[in-house]
Amino acid sequence: MEPISSSFFVYEVLMMEELFMCDMIANLTTMPPMPQLPEGVELKRAQAAEKRAILDYVEKNFSDAWYGEVDVALSSCPARCILAVKDEKLIGFSCWDVAAKGFFGPIGVEESLRGTGIGTALLIRTLEYMRDDGYGYAIIGWVDKAAPFYQKTIGAEFIRGGEPQNSVYSNMIQKRWLGHK
């Protein structure tokens, strides 16, 4: 998979009128260190007994497609889902190996807590798990407006030809992600 330079991609996006989505790739051997979490926030690996509460949270706050992907992550043993928790309340999550082997995501943080470093911590912790499982790279599937976050945080790059119609998402019954809530 050939990465696309950031400047090339920015030019291409500006030339398009509708939202553009593309897969990205991140090198797991060059990740930044784990950031300090906000006070009172902890990361933990999800457990099977928490499945209903986690899925209820995802259903309430995120898309139907993400609900299905988180369900898959929670169905593996051990779960391929990391949770961000504060005061015993779920405030974010991230998953891996759901859409395909070596794929990161989805990741979600409560809207009121975005920009606090929780998403960065979830991303890095999940990629550490992937690296420890033997992956050298992670694919971040179907990225749109979160692209600057991945570029800045882990140096991810777009994959030439990584549009949804050319990726693991091309065989979905519904070609577009189901709407976000």
Amino acid letter for position 52: R
Average pLDDT over residues 86-90: 96
Measured distance CA(13)–CA(20) in Å, rounded: 7
Contact 103, 141 (CB under 8 A): yes
Average pLDDT over residues 147-151: 95
Place of tokens 């807590």: 113
Higher pLDDT among residues 50 and 174, named by residue: 50
Domain ranges in the chain are 3-171
Contact 20, 13 (CB under 8 A): yes
Measured distance CA(163)–CA(108) in Å, rounded: 22
3 state SS of 137:
strand
Average pLDDT over residues 96-104: 96
Task: Using only the alpha carbons of the chain, give its radius of gyration.
Answer: 16
Give pTM, 2 decimals: 0.84
| Band of pLDDT at residue 174, cut at 50, 70 and 90 | low
Contact 175, 21 (CB under 8 A): no
Indicate if the pLDDT at residue 13 is higher than 50: no
CATH of domain 3-171: 3.40.630.30
Average pLDDT over residues 120-148: 95
| Band of pLDDT at residue 177, cut at 50, 70 and 90 | very low
Indicate if the pLDDT at residue 1 is higher than 60: no
Place of tokens 């398009």: 16
Higher pLDDT among residues 171 and 103, named by residue: 103
Indicate if the pLDDT at residue 107 is higher than 70: yes
